[in-house]
Structure 1
Amino acid sequence: MLNVMNRLFSTALLLLSMYHAPVNAQTIFVDPVNGKDSQAGSAGKPMATLAEAVAAANAFSGKEPVTIKLQPGLYMLTDKLTLRLPATRTKGLRYVIEAAIMPDDTAWRPEKMPVIQSVSGINFSTGFQHAVGFLVQTEDVSFRGLKFAGNANPAVNYYYPINKKDSLIGGLEVSQCYFSGNRYGAPIQGAVWSQGPNTVIDHCVFYNCKNALLFFKQVEGFSVTNTVIYGAYESAMWVWLQNGQFTFRNNMVANCPYFWVIAPDSQPKTRFEHSQFLNVGQYAGNSITMEITPAKDVVFNMVDVKRLNNVDVLAAKEPSQAEIPGFSANYANGAGLFKIKH
C-alpha cells in the first residue's frame, strides 16, 4: 500500500511540475494582471511583463519554435523590445508573439485582445530620432492576435510598433492584429516598417495610422491579404517594390489621400485583386522631399477592384464590440480580423 501511495504521489508531483514548467522550454506565458516576473513563465505561473518574457525567449537556443503567449490585459512598453535568437538557430522555426485567445476562438471578445501601449521616449536615433515598439532582429517572426495602440509620450513624433531594419533577414508575419492610432494623442507614424523579403500581412486592421505599411529595401515576396486600412492620413503604404513580387488580394483601403507612395520614376508591375478602394484620393504618389505629389503615368493591373467615393465605410456596432471599429459588410467583403466568418 505504501509503495502504491508513493507512486501516486510521485505521479502527482510530475504532473504538477509539467503544469508549472514552460512547454518544451520554448513557450512563455505572460499575464499582466495575475503574473509575476519572478515566476517561470509557465501556464500556471506566468510572467507579468513583455520585457521579461522577451529577455527569456531571446536566451533560448532557437532549436525549437519559440512562442510567447499573452493573456488579455494592458502591456506597457517603456523602451523598445528587441527580438533576437542565436545565429545558429534552426532555420524555418518561428519566433511567435501571440494572444492566448485568438480572434476566431469562441471565447474571444474585443476586450480579450492583449493591448500593447508604448510610452517610451526616443529609443532609436539612426537616420532620425524615433521610437520603436518591437525591433525584429531575427528571421521568421510572427505577431498574431494583438492590438497595438500609439505612443502617448509627447516627446515622440515618430512611432513604429513593429520595425525590422535589417534587409538581409526575412519571414516577418503579422496576422489578425489591430493597429489603432490617435493622431492628436497617441499617433502611429508607420504601423509596420519592415525591410527585406517575404513579409506577410494577413487579416489585419490599420485604423487611423498615419501610414500603415513602410517597406523600402529589398522588398520581394511581399503580400497584403484580407486586410483593412482605414484613415491613413498620409498614405496607406510606402513600398519600393522589386520585380513586381507583390500579392494584394481581398483588401479594403478607405479614407486615405494616397493608397501607395512609390519610388520616383518607377512603374510597379503588380496586380491588385478582389479589393475595394473607398474615398481614396490618389492611387499612387511620389515623394522626393517630404511632400507627396500624384505620380504620373502609372498604370496598375486591376482585377475585380472597385473604386468608390462619398460612401460611408464605418458601420454601427453593438456596445460590446465598441473597441474594434465596424466596417460595412457591403464593402469589407471578409477583410478584417476574422478568418472564420462570424
Structure 2
Amino acid sequence: MKKVTVYLVALFTILSLQSFGQVVDNKIFVNPNTGSDSNKGTKESPLKSLSEAAKRVSAAEGEGAIGVFLAAGVYGMSETADFNPKKWKFTKANRLTIRAEILPDDANWTPAEMPIMISTMPFSVEKNDKGELTGGQNFGIMIQNSHATIQGLRILGEPVHENPSKGVLVRNYPIMWEGKNLEDFRVSQCLFLGNKYALPNHLGILANGKEQEIDHCVFYGVKDALVLWNSPATNSSMHHNLVIDSYGGIVWTWSATPDFKFYNNVISNGNVLWMLNKDEKDSYTIENSVIVGYNSFVNKGGGPQGFGEKASDDKLKLGKDVILKKEGKLEVIEDQTSKYFLHIKAGTLGSNLGAGLFMK
C-alpha cells in the first residue's frame, strides 16, 4: 500500500512539473500580487512576472491564439519581457494578445484597474567609435513575431537620470516590435505616462514592420510617442490617440510609406509634431485632428539625441476637418477619480473626436 501511495505521489509530482513552463489552454494569467513564476499560469495559479509569461510563449510549440492576461497591480520589470515564439504559428485571426484583464470599455473599469508596467532593469552600455561612453538603452516589452496586440496597459518609463553628462543619453523603450519581415502589430487602449525629470519615458513604441496600428492610446508627458523605422511600414495607421506634453517628436515616419493614415488624433503642447526621414522624400496627410500648441510643425533627420532640422511644411498635408493652432493648450481632466482621467474635458476643443482610451 505504501509503495502505491509513493508511486501516486511521484506521478502527481511529475505531471505537475510537466505542466509548469507550458501554456495551459492557450492562456496565461499574471498577477504581481498573488502570483509566482513557478505556478502553472492559470487563473487560479497565476504567474508573477510578464517576463516569465514571455519565456513560456517563446518556448511553446503549436498554433492558434495565445492570450496573456494581466491583473491590476504594479509590475516591476527587472528584465525584458521578450516574446520570441519560433515554434508557434500565429495568424491575423489567431494572434498573440497581451492585455489587461479589465479593459477601458468594460463596465467596471476604472483608471486604477490598469496594470502598471515600470522598468527597473539595468541598461546596456553604448560607446562611439572612439570607445567613449554615449549612453545606454533597455527594452520593456519586446515582440519578435507577427500578429500581436498589446492592449489596456499603463506603461511608465524608468526612474533614471536620462542625461548624466554632455552627449550621454540613457533611455528606456517600453514597447519594441523588432524582427525580419514582420506584419500586423497593434497597440491599443494603453496609457503611456512619463515625466521628463523623475520618470522619463523616452519612446512609447518603437516598431519595425508593416501593418502597424496604434489606436486609442494616451501619451502623457512622453518624449516621443511612435517611431516607425527600418523596414517599410506599409498599410499602417495612428488614429484616435491623445498626445499631451510631448517634449520630443510625436510621430517619426522614418519608414512609413505615403499611405500612412493619421486621423482623429488630438495633440496638445508638443515639441515637434512630425519627424521625417532625412531625405524628406515622402509626404503625409493629417485628417480630422486637433493640434494645439507646438514648437515645430515638421522636422527631418534627428535621432535619440536630437530632432534634426526643419523640413518643408508642405510635406504634411492638412486634409478635412483639421484644426491647427501654433499657440495654446487643451483642457485636460486631472481628477484621478474620474473615469476620464487625463482625457480632454467634455464640451471643449478636441473632445468630440473620440481620442483616448475608449472605443465605445
Match of 2:278 in 1: 264
Match of 1:16 in 2: none
Displacement after TM superposition at 1:57 (Å): 2.0
Q: Please state whether the residue corresponding to 2:57 is helix, strand or coil.
A: helix
CA distance in 1, matches of 2:103, 2:34: 20
Q: Which amino acid aligns with 2:171?
A: Y
Match of 2:359 in 1: 339
Match of 2:5 in 1: none
Residues 183-212 of structure 1: CA deviation (Å, up to 9, x unaligned): 101111111001121111010001111111
Q: 1:284–1:298: 8 Å Cα contact kept in structure 2?
A: no
Q: Please state whether the residue corresponding to 1:105 is helix, strand or coil.
A: coil
Match of 1:307 in 2: 324
Q: Please state whether the residue corresponding to 1:298 is helix, strand or coil.
A: helix
Q: Which amino acid aligns with 1:169?
A: L
Q: 1:181–1:207: 8 Å Cα contact kept in structure 2?
A: yes
Residues 95-154 of structure 1: CA deviation (Å, up to 9, x unaligned): 111000000001101110000000111147599731110111111111000000111144
Q: 2:80–2:141: 8 Å Cα contact kept in structure 1?
A: yes
Structure 1 unaligned regions, length at least 5? 1-19
Q: 1:204–1:228: 8 Å Cα contact kept in structure 2?
A: yes
Correspondences of 1:37-56 after superposition (within 5 Å): 37-56=37-56
Structure 1 165/252 Cα, relative in aligned 2: closer, same or farther at 3 Å?
Answer: same
Q: Please state whether the residue corresponding to 1:58 is helix, strand or coil.
A: helix
Match of 1:6 in 2: none
Structure 2 unaligned regions, length at least 5? 1-18, 129-134, 163-168
Structure 1 34/90 Cα, relative in aligned 2: closer, same or farther at 3 Å?
Answer: closer
CA distance in 2, matches of 1:322, 1:123: 38
What is the percent sequence identity of the aligned residues?
25
Correspondences of 1:82-93 after superposition (within 5 Å): 82-87=82-87, 89-92=89-92, 93=94
CA distance in 2, matches of 1:42, 1:288: 45
Displacement after TM superposition at 1:268 (Å): 2.6
Moved more, 100-109 or 266-275: 266-275
Match of 2:9 in 1: none
The normalised TM-score by structure 2 is 0.82
Correspondences of 1:108-257 after superposition (within 5 Å): 108-123=109-124, 129-154=136-161, 157-217=170-230, 218-257=232-271
The normalised TM-score by structure 1 is 0.86
Q: Which amino acid aligns with 2:54?
A: V
Displacement after TM superposition at 1:312 (Å): 3.7
Q: 1:79–1:123: 8 Å Cα contact kept in structure 2?
A: no
| Alignment: residue pair count | 322
Residues 154-176 of structure 1: CA deviation (Å, up to 9, x unaligned): 48721110012325212111000
Displacement after TM superposition at 1:241 (Å): 4.1
Displacement after TM superposition at 1:234 (Å): 1.4
Structure 1 179/62 Cα, relative in aligned 2: closer, same or farther at 3 Å?
Answer: farther
Q: Please state whether the residue corresponding to 1:47 is helix, strand or coil.
A: coil
Q: Which amino acid aligns with 2:323?
A: K
Q: Which amino acid aligns with 1:326?
A: H
Q: Which amino acid aligns with 2:355?
A: A
CA distance in 2, matches of 1:154, 1:195: 27
RMSD across aligned positions (CA): 2.6
Q: Which amino acid aligns with 1:296?
A: S
Q: Please state whether the residue corresponding to 1:307 is helix, strand or coil.
A: strand
Q: Which amino acid aligns with 2:263?
A: R
Q: Please state whether the residue corresponding to 1:111 is helix, strand or coil.
A: helix
